[in-house]
Amino acid sequence: VQHCHIENPISCAYMENGRIIVVTSTQIPHIVRRVIGQALGIPWGKIRVIKPYIGGGFGNKQDVLYEPLNAFLTTQVGGRSVKLDITREETFCNTRTRHSIEYDLTAGVDSEGHLLAKDMLAISNQGAYASHGHAIAANGLTAWRLQYACPNIKGEAYTVYTNTPVGGAMRGYGIPQVCFAIECFMDDIAKEIGMDPLEFRKKNLIKGYYEDAYLKPIAANTNGIFECLEKGAEYIHWEEKRKEYANQTGNIRRGVGMSLFSYKTGVWPISLEIAGARMTLNQDGSVGLMLGATEIGQGADTVFSQMAAEILNMDISDVHIQTVQDTDVTPFDTGAYASRQSFVTGTVVKDCANLLKEKILAYAKELLPEETRKLRLDHGWIMAGKDPAISLGNLALESYYSLGNSSVITAEVSEQVKKNTIATGCCFAEVEVDIKLGKIKILHIINVHDSGKLINPKLAEMQVQGGMSMGMGYGLSEQLILDEKTGRPLNGTLLDYKLMTMMDTPDIKADFVELDDPIGPFGNKALGEPPAIPGAPAIRNAVLHATGVAFNENPLTPQRLIDGFIRAGLI
């Protein structure tokens, strides 16, 4: 499948004073700068990358795409501006897609439904070039370890190069594929041994705190999966409907299904986690905030402004965030991916705001040497005990213009963040299947997430709704169809590639279990990618409950359904 962000990847390049300036729709401006330097064989300092507001990314713009070519071309035309504007079809063909991965799963289960051993073989279609390559299939193997307790685990993953569009990063980074395989497999096992699939999962899920045996910094410090399952089952009326829909006949049948997932927050310790933040006390007592982290439509700027305002105890309207990233100006940050920013960059924002607060109060102490009471910030005032001592605006003016003690108050922090934690969640779906038409109608669907404390509940809900829409498309309709002889896409337009539209989308329900994670900067953990993960297998498992037919590939298109129902003798 393809990312289908509203704005295609686009960039332009020009030169000023012997330096190359690239303006690009990217998730990773600082990485783009490095790769251009490597590609052109020039010092990285001779390159400046600017990232304005962009129209989505979902991982496709986590790769360096046309930027080095633009940068080269401007050097060939005397530094004049060069822009490569690609069409939607070229975006489908020539940027990145989600890897297609085939799985072979085996498990041993005892008479009480406990997993005794499990084995996975994964074969990933990389396409013609490396991009994120084998990391995708390998990351999927991590989920094979992290969800279900089992004393004997084996996993192998292989990545194959083919003459097809290139697989790269896409929301979930290999976990949507492996989650479909695992969660469909869990339902198949439960059906085979005659056990309710929810009870089978509860019996085998890892409980409470756990630490990954191979990647020790990765741990579930808080684990709300059982609370998530309880909320999801209650919303969908699991027990009643599993019984009600147990023995149906006729062409129209209903079923309920579920799936669950676990997801790391960021990439440490497999890869580097570093972020930077800079804050300045402005002359009016407001605060300027500059980050290398990138806003790509997910609401990062809002959340970072909230974090700064929380620490400095001021209104969010007094935090002015620089929304355009510029590698000449903004601190280094590796970018927007891996559900990392509110966790990793959030850690740095918190530390930077605390440092700025210390400096403000230290300066206030110099202005008020006779004041013995403890000073604190309170919505634009320096408070001495319960009494206002000096306004933050007056203190700021003094710091800029004092003849005796002028010192602009700033704080800058760059940190390598060596920690990780695990988010969990689930999806429950109720569907109606028209067997003769091969049509699935989603009646009810809910995602429940344990993403720690929610920094912004409304943004969190919107994040889940968007991810669920992607998950439903992945499960029901989206497929980039390739000519098997040439590898060329046959449906590389938004007319022929079937995204979920508003007419296809049911009412979406999002809910949360808020557990304060001790290592999250504000008790928070991943939420960017997880909503897209569990929807497709939950829908497939609901179809299994409704019809008794197990489908092992997605999307569940009408043709695929009808073929399966014919094989099963239902048609």
Structure letter (DSSP) for residue 364: H
What are the extents of the domains in the chain? 10-94, 179-266+421-567, 274-416
Q: Are 145 and 214 in contact (CB under 8 A)?
A: yes
CATH of 179-266+421-567, one of 3.50.50.60, 3.40.462.40, 3.30.365.10, 3.40.50.2300: 3.30.365.10
Cα-Cα-Cα-Cα dihedral sign, residues 537, 523, 460, 169: negative
- 38: which DSSP letter? H
Pairing verdict, β 47-51 and 420-434: unpaired
Residue with the larger pLDDT of the pair 487 and 428: 428
Q: Give pLDDT, residue 8.
A: 96
Band of pLDDT at residue 377, cut at 50, 70 and 90 = very high
Strands 420-434, 218-220: pairing is: parallel
Please tell me the distance from the alpha carbon of residue 190 to that of residue 473, in angstroms, as a whole number.
26
pLDDT of residue 170 exceeding 80 = yes
Question: Do the first three CATH levels of 179-266+421-567 and 274-416 match, i.e. the same topology?
Answer: yes
Q: What is the mean pLDDT of residues 241-263?
A: 96
Q: Has residue 215 got a pLDDT over 80?
A: no
Q: Given CATH 3.30.365.10, say whether it is the number of domain 274-416.
A: yes
Mean pLDDT for the chain overall:
96
Name the CA radius of gyration of the chain, rounded: 26
The reported pLDDT for the residue numbered 210 is 85
What is the model's pLDDT at position 216? Answer: 80
Could you read off the pLDDT of 513-563 as tens digits, one per residue?
A: 999 999 999 999 999 999 999 999 999 999 999 999 999 999 999 999 999
> Which of the four pLDDT bands, split at 50, 70 and 90, describes residue 117?
very high
- Type and span of the H or E element at 458: helix 457-476
Helices (H), 194-274: 197-204, 225-236, 238-244
The pLDDT tens digits of the residues spanning 487-522 come to 889 999 999 999 999 999 999 999 999 999 999 999
Among residues 484, 475, 441, the alpha carbon closest in space to that of 551 is found at: 475
**What pLDDT does 474 receive?**
98
Q: Given this model, what pLDDT does residue 159 score?
A: 98
Tell me, what's the pLDDT at 200? 98
Q: Residue 45: which pLDDT band, with cuts at 50, 70 and 90?
A: very high
Task: Tell me the mean pLDDT in the region 418-436.
Answer: 97
How, if at all, do strands 381-384 and 387-391 pair? antiparallel
Return the CATH fold of 10-94: Aldehyde Oxidoreductase; domain 4 (3.30.365)
Provide the pLDDT for residue 74. Answer: 98
Residue 136's alpha-carbon distances to 16, 126, 171, 178, 351, in angstroms, are 39, 9, 11, 10, 32
% of the chain with per-residue pLDDT over 90? 94
Best CA proximity match to 69, nearest among 24, 3, 113: 24
Nearest to 31 by CA among 299, 224, 310, 274: 274
Which class for 282: exposed (0-12), middle (13-18), buried (19 or more C-beta within 10 A)? Answer: middle
List Cα–Cα distances, 21 to 13, 97, 297, 369, 475, in angstroms.
6, 28, 24, 49, 41
Q: Is 513 exposed, middle or buried (0-12, 13-18, 19+ CB in 10 A)?
A: buried
pLDDT exceeds cutoff 90 at 288: yes
Q: Which two tokens stand for residue 486?
A: 């040439």
pLDDT on residue 213: 79
pLDDT at 211: 85
**What share of the chain has pLDDT > 70, as a percent?**
100
